Chains A and B, each alone.
Chain A
Amino acid sequence: MSVNQSGWRPEMGDASQAAQTTFTGNRALMLEEALIFEIGSNETTGVDIDEAPKVASRLGSHARKGAIGLPGLSEPEAVRHYTRLSRQNYAIDLGLFPLGSCTMKHNPRLNERMARLPGFADLHPLGPVDTVQGALEVIHQLAHWLVTLTNMDSVAMSPKAGAHGELCGILAIKAALEKRGEGHRKVILVPESAHGTNPATAAFAGFTVKDIPATADGRVDTQALKDRLGPDVAGVMITNPNTCGLFERDLKEISDAVHAAGGYVYCDGANFNAIVGRVRPGDLGVDAMHINLHKTFSTPHGGGGPGSGPVVFSKALTPFAPLPFVEQQDGKFVLVEEETAGEHHADSFGRMVAFHGQMGMFTRALSYILSHGADGLKQVSEDAVLNANYILRSLDDTLDAPFGRSGPCMHEALFSDSNLAEGFSTLDVAKGLIDEGYHPMTVYFPLVVHGAMLVEPTETESKAALDQFIGALKSVGERAKAGDPALKSAPHFAPRRRLDETLAARKPVLAWKESVAPVAEAAE
């Protein structure tokens, strides 16, 4: 017999004896990371730079006297710091990301490969047009797809994201009204269930916002909207599908009424993912709509980088669209700018950005569109709607679904906090979901529903992934209905316990100072 000299003897031990804290504050591989200012030291540095040569300073009294106070870290320390922080992040590549109204879909790696092709990625925006024909063709082809999918007349590609697109659309409406000599139309009607950016955009462009109420089934009150129309109304801003996850069935009727009263219809296209290939906004009388390339055509939340919000225009608004745009002339692609717009675009309201828009996002969106094809895009919206309805119907016996009887939902399922135990709210459910390993859904929006929980699963998720999420939300929901006190202090397993949001808002610590002690976590 040979003797086990290594001493290896598997044992389970008594788990109940485990220490609740560790020396380092780390929990196994979940590392407790200090701020970079707290780990750095002015004594160390990652790079050696030669002493600067003495030169006569011309800064006078502006010359810095003390040290700048940047933390000094070696390269491995800096790399580890940011890598550790990134591990505390939640991302679409880690799991289901149910943020309502954000369309957090998978970002196909093919897009990234296309966007990184040096012929696209390394271009300079001031490169001579002859040398960037391929890039201009991408913009032109993508523009064609967007105009076709929406049945609109033209598209401005340059707006940088959704709210920027809204501003673009509203400025075009303003220019059109002024051209008609009706600049006195100062009122924009916005339904209660609108995205918060809609009234902000209208106000920013100099309009007065008037709210239009919603009906009990979660849609715009068409009669109330019609009653408010008049010679002072510039237009309406309406989101379709709306933020209650419902299709605005009366949009055509609303558009006709608005047009008859001399106004224009702006449609917030943030939720376009639910209807691509099924509904063309141009058929519903829409005059302008932004398309979030970074939602509908992947790269959710801009992939942490820029978004992109092209705006499609009806025939009525096309002359007022901003510059520049790409045109094909004699087989070549050209950029139509102020100098070259000439008479056929003399009414343009100007330009929104210095260059031509987000080239990287154009490449990704076109890659997504071409790899899916027309039939694929249609299936995307069908699957997105199917997934949302699966969530709605699987949970409507646990959570209150205020518009559960308003017909099928579109891209997102909406719940309220109305049947939770006394003292329990949506926030507790959201924090409980963090313990279950999910990024919470959108909470307390839309405002028309008390304690709203807005879940948008997107087409990305498999049935197994949806079932696991439904199970988790059901479990947390049941705990909130039963009044489980442990839920009030959730999350218990996150890097931080529940934070005091009120204190953070009332006494925010916005800049690190050596003397400031870390803010205490809320009492358990």
Chain B
Amino acid sequence: MSRFFTQEHEWIEVDGEVATVGITEYAAGQLGDIVFVDVPADGRELTKGDDAAVVESVKAASDVYTPASGVVIEGNAALTDNPALVNEDPEGGGWFFKLTLRDDSELGELMDEEKYAAYVARL
């Protein structure tokens, strides 16, 4: 398994053909208390960079972009009842959706954990 990051603060964890997407701890911290999450429906086809999910904090609503193309196989139903999960465990239980990847090569354009940490440090 390997984990990649985007400049828009999404993470994607790849396990074979299936990938899990969420927002980073940094993003969750910036958003503040999250009050609502809208995850994509099963079967939705996404192209890298598409608006895939919506995350709403007390003050702002933000789009979550998919870091890679593919078909959604599961949205995290737990977030509907408990959006606070994104604040509590953004890079674990607070994941947004899973998808089957269309093109592995897209991942090469993303940052690894070390590069992302350096990127955030500069912000």
Q: Residues on A close to B: CB < 8 A? A: 444, 447, 501-502, 505-506
Contacts and interface: CB of A to CB of B under 8 A. Distances in A.
A377 B35 CA distance: 45
B83 interface: yes
Contacts of B59: 444
Contacts of A502: 33, 35, 58
- The contact size tier of chain B is under 10
A505 B60 contact: no
B116 interface: no
A265 B59 CA distance: 30
Contact of B35 (A444, A447, A506): A506
Contacts of B58: 501-502, 505
B84 interface: yes
Output the residue of B33, B56, B58 with the most chain A CB within 10 A. B58
A423 to B, nearest CB: 13
18 contacts: A444-B59, A444-B60, A447-B60, A501-B33, A501-B58, A502-B33, A502-B35, A502-B58, A505-B33, A505-B35, A505-B36, A505-B56, A505-B58, A506-B33, A506-B35, A506-B36, A506-B83, A506-B84
A505 B36 CA distance: 8
B65 to A, nearest CB: 12
A502 B32 CA distance: 9
Nearest to A450: B30
Interface string B75-102: 0000000011000000000000000000
Contacts of B56: 505
A505 B33 CA distance: 10
B78 to A, nearest CB: 14
A259 B45 CA distance: 36
B38 to A, nearest CB: 14
A452 to B, nearest CB: 11
Contacts, number: 18
Interface in B45-61: 56, 58-60
Nearest to B82: A506
Interface string B9-36: 0000000000000000000000001011
B92 to A, nearest CB: 20
A505 B35 CA distance: 6
A180 B58 CA distance: 44
Given A447-B60, A502-B58, 13 more contacts: A444-B60, A501-B33, A501-B58, A502-B33, A502-B35, A505-B33, A505-B35, A505-B36, A505-B58, A506-B33, A506-B36, A506-B83, A506-B84
A520 B84 CA distance: 20
A444 B62 CA distance: 14
A505 B59 CA distance: 10
Nearest to A507: B35
Contacts of B35: 502, 505-506
A503 to B, nearest CB: 9
Closest 10 CB pairs of A and B: A505-B35, A502-B33, A501-B58, A506-B35, A444-B59, A505-B58, A502-B58, A502-B35, A506-B83, A447-B60
Contacts of B60: 444, 447
Nearest to B62: A447
A447 B60 CA distance: 9
B48 to A, nearest CB: 16
Contacts of B33: 501-502, 505-506
A495 B83 CA distance: 30
B18 to A, nearest CB: 30
Nearest to B30: A450
A242 B94 CA distance: 37
Nearest to B32: A502
Contacts of B84: 506
Contacts of A444: 59-60
Nearest to B35: A505
A506 B35 CA distance: 5
A511 B58 CA distance: 20
A507 B56 CA distance: 14
A506 B56 CA distance: 10
Nearest to B36: A505
A502 B35 CA distance: 7
A444 B83 CA distance: 22
Contacts of B83: 506
B64 to A, nearest CB: 16
A488 to B, nearest CB: 15
* Interface core residue of B35, B36, B60, B83 (most chain A CB under 10 Å): B35
A506 B80 CA distance: 10
Nearest to B84: A506
B81 to A, nearest CB: 10
Contacts of A506: 33, 35-36, 83-84
Nearest to A444: B59
A461 to B, nearest CB: 28
A505 B83 CA distance: 11
A506 B60 CA distance: 14
A501 B83 CA distance: 15
B28 to A, nearest CB: 14
Nearest to A426: B59
A316 B73 CA distance: 48
B94 to A, nearest CB: 15
A502 B31 CA distance: 12
Nearest to B59: A444
A505 B57 CA distance: 9
A501 B35 CA distance: 10
A429 to B, nearest CB: 15
Contacts of A447: 60
A444 B58 CA distance: 11
A404 B84 CA distance: 37
